[in-house]
Chains A and B, each alone.
Chain A
Amino acid sequence: MNVLNRPGQCGTMESNDLMVQVAPAEQGSGIAITLVSPMIKQYGKQIEAVVKATLQEMGVADALVQVTDKGALDCTIRARVRVAAERAMQKEAN
């Protein structure tokens, strides 16, 4: 089980990218995602699934996640979420 210690952010607002902000959440509250995307109707479910799966792979069970998507592919989502969470797991500010 990996716990988030602080908010962590990764990404940009450039086309084909996304901005991910993860923050610690109460134990047992699960992964709560707020998603903004111009393609939310076509890919909203998929984006949320990838975000969740990536965090779960990292052993993160509880998190507040804000995603502002600008048309990112799954591989980009995975990378940005992973790094945002890694940054959020750091004990001291980087």
Chain B
Amino acid sequence: MPEEIKGLGTVKQYKGAFALEPQGHIVGGKLRAGKPHSDKIVRSIEQAIEASGLKDGMTISFHHHFRNGDYVLNMVLEAIAKKGIKGLTLAPSSLNDSDTLIRMIEMGVVTAIETSGARGKLGRVITSGKLSKPMIVRSHGGRARAIECGDLHIDVAFIGAPCCDKYGNINGVNGKSACGTMGYAMVDAAAADCVVAVTDNLVEHPIFPISIPMTQVDYIVEVDAIGDPKGIASGALRISRDPRELQIAEYASRVIEYSGYFNQGYSVQLGSGGASLAAAKFIKDKMLAKKITASFGVGGVTAPFVNMLEEGLLDMIYDVQDFDIPSIDSVRKNANHIEMSASYYANPHNCGAVVNNLDVVILSATEVDVDFNVNVITDSNGVIMGASGGHSDTAAGANLAIVVAPLLRGRLPMVLDQVNTIVTPGETVDVVVTERGVAVNPKRKDLIDNLKEAKLPLMEIEELQKIAYDLAGKPESVPMSDDIVGVVEYRDGSIIDVIRRPL
């Protein structure tokens, strides 16, 4: 890993999951004086951009609560491009695929990106090095840290607001484009120099609940639609029928059961992947059998989690983002389903975020290596196609971090000598669960002992790799250029790995 990176200067090297102590104070947005009886509503996005004072070279942000049903990012970028503004840094909480954004990069409207990840064609474009400096990849907690300490300074935050009153109070649970909680947006609103609410549901004051208060909102613009409801929230996701995923889920839930953490009042976070959702059902059955309940659950929330809350198996849910309609309904009507900001969720540089109190988390992976390092951002060809998300945050905070994945994806082994990109360091990963074997980090002698009775196919991680290589053959390594197109910033602001352009 180089000490100096073109486009970023000298970088802090990763020295350990908890090595870096922060200095200084929390930083905030410009002071503004809202005048009595003033009108925040502007007539168009163009007007909002003008009013915000957006200039070349500034940094703009968006949330990704609308997932692949988001209209706001594209609308705002088009308007910015029309005004001839260029050289912007785009810092959304995450990105999906976007033809508009690709055009903006090619036109030079956006020349730098700082986010959790990117998918599809956009991921391929970024991997090919079209930005003027490396993309900075941050976890959800890391982004909150960066915003709060000033590492990431947001000039203008454009916030898609499912429900917004004429004073600028915002929530995400009401309206045709409801998305549930607004955990990522809350951080931006508190620290940006200018906040523009973009809504398709402008209502009279007062609204309840309030996720983002009017005291943080400068301008409001009403449009026809801020998102596609079908893309924002799925109907309840069906539990996987894939026998391989079910096998992985069963092993993962048995790891939890025998780990020593499966007791009355434990806390749990499940991912949103197929194996995680299936594991929810097995874990629920085991909780009922053992007659225990969990003190809290954390997510990224989906219907199986909400179901556990409603059946009294979870006392409460801390929610940073919702994925489906049952989850959004639950936020709206259940007092024990609580919205939290990304900072409350996972910022390592405050007095203690929720992830610090987690007992168990199940995470996915694109690749794992024999040192238990995990990749979630690039595929086996080194192309950006995933997101850092809360992966490294929850792994660092939780007592038991379980990574689930199939041993082979197609023909590609998932357990390697070295992952293409380290997002989550092996020192924070406790167990790797595949359908052919379960490997425990050798540092966790306590877990190894506890799991002896679990009747699991326990083995060294090297053995797991050997099974994969015996089946598929050893893969040849993908040739990489020296050009660095992305850096992975660990949650504390140090750089843990770089993403190079594949040849």
User: Which A residues are within 8 Å of any B CB, using their own CB?
Assistant: 15-16, 38-39, 41-46, 70-74
Contacts and interface: CB of A to CB of B under 8 A. Distances in A.
Interface in B444-491: 471-473, 475-479
B234 interface: no
Contacts of A71: 408-412
Q: Which 4 A-B pairs have the closest CB atoms?
A: A71-B410, A42-B475, A71-B411, A41-B478
A38 B410 CA distance: 9
B264 interface: no
Contacts, number: 42
Nearest to A44: B476
A42 B478 contact: yes
Contacts of B412: 39, 42, 71
B381 interface: yes
Contacts of B479: 41
Contacts of B409: 71
Contact of A73 (B380, B472, B476): B472
Contacts of B478: 41-42
B135 to A, nearest CB: 22
24 contacts: A38-B410, A39-B380, A39-B410, A39-B411, A39-B412, A39-B475, A41-B381, A41-B476, A41-B478, A41-B479, A41-B502, A42-B380, A42-B411, A42-B475, A42-B478, A43-B411, A43-B472, A43-B473, A45-B476, A46-B473, A71-B409, A73-B411, A73-B473, A74-B473
Interface of B: 380-381, 408-412, 471-473, 475-479, 502
B476 A42 contact: yes
Contacts of A38: 410
Nearest to B379: A38
A39 B473 CA distance: 12
B interface SS class: loop
B128 to A, nearest CB: 15
A3 to B, nearest CB: 31
Contacts of A41: 381, 476, 478-479, 502
A41 B480 CA distance: 11
A72 B409 CA distance: 11
Nearest to A72: B411
A71 B471 CA distance: 12
Give the one of B411, B412, B475, B479 with max A CB within 10 A.
B411
A69 to B, nearest CB: 8
Contacts of B502: 41
A65 B473 CA distance: 22
A46 to B, nearest CB: 5
A12 to B, nearest CB: 14
Given A41-B476, A43-B476, A73 B471 contact: yes
Contacts of B476: 41-46
A72 B471 CA distance: 10
B476 to A, nearest CB: 5
A16 B410 contact: yes
Contacts of A73: 411, 471-473
A72 to B, nearest CB: 7
Contacts of B477: 42
Given A41-B381, A42-B478, A70 B473 contact: no
Contacts of B471: 73
Give the one of A42, A70, A74 with max B CB within 10 A.
A42
Contacts of A72: 411
B434 to A, nearest CB: 16
A44 B412 CA distance: 12
Given A38-B410, A42-B411, A44-B476, 18 more contacts: A39-B410, A39-B411, A39-B412, A39-B475, A41-B381, A41-B478, A41-B502, A42-B380, A42-B412, A42-B478, A43-B411, A43-B475, A46-B473, A46-B476, A71-B408, A71-B412, A72-B411, A73-B411
A85 to B, nearest CB: 22
Contacts of A45: 476
Nearest to B412: A39
B247 to A, nearest CB: 16
